[in-house]
Amino acid sequence: MTPQEKIAFADDFLTLYLSMGLGSLPKREIDLFVFHALIQSAEHRGKSNYELANTFGISETRIKTLKLNAALRYKEINPRAILARVVERLIASQQFAELNEGKIDISLEDPLERRELENFLKTRGHHAEYTLNREVLRISAARLLELIMEHAERAGSEFDEIIRSQIKDQAVSARILAGAPSLKQKLDRLRAENLNLATLKSLIAKAFTLF
């Protein structure tokens, strides 16, 4: 921690420690607060779970549990921002080019990202599919496109143009866009078309440009 971070930590810790009366704060609450302060500090910010586990002398599983609990306790959870971060990381890594058999693997070391992506899929009737590595989630191309479009700033205004330009069969694009339905309805219609992988990849690549 920097000197300024240490001063702020001491002030915040004393406020929390005395909030329930001297000696009344449970140890688990103390551990959670200290852990949160440490991983937010300049010294540890951005470190991997592996690096944090080595630094603090606990398992990576424990690190992930503390990360999630600390986020839920001390952060304002913004699902849209979290999912947008996942998409932006995919864009930066160009992982969409590795689509195989209609699916892509997404690395989710951050337990909060994993939680939000699992919920995103679940609320749309789709369950998370993991590889042998529980930090790698496998998602279908159609669901990935849905994730991108729902979190792209310009999706609403440009989705129609993407559909028309990337789907060569005009009858298919017309079925998706007919009646100017909502973005969600359009995405539902798109999934029902069972488009081939090449078309889905072109849609995803084009959708990435909206970020």
pLDDT at 11 over 90: yes
Q: Decide: helix, strand or coil at residue 151.
A: helix
Which pLDDT tens digit goes with each residue over 120-179?
Answer: 888 877 777 887 788 888 888 778 888 778 777 666 668 888 898 999 899 999 999 988
Q: What is the mean pLDDT of the chain?
A: 86
Q: How many CA atoms lie within 13 A of 200 on its CB side?
A: 27
Q: What is the pLDDT of residue 125?
A: 79
Q: What is the distance in angstroms between the CA of the first residue and the CA of the last residue of the chain?
A: 34
pTM: 0.74
Which residues 6+ apart lie within 8 Å of 12 measured at CB?
33, 37
**Cα 167 from Cα 175, distance rounded (Å):** 11
Share of the chain above pLDDT 70, in %: 91
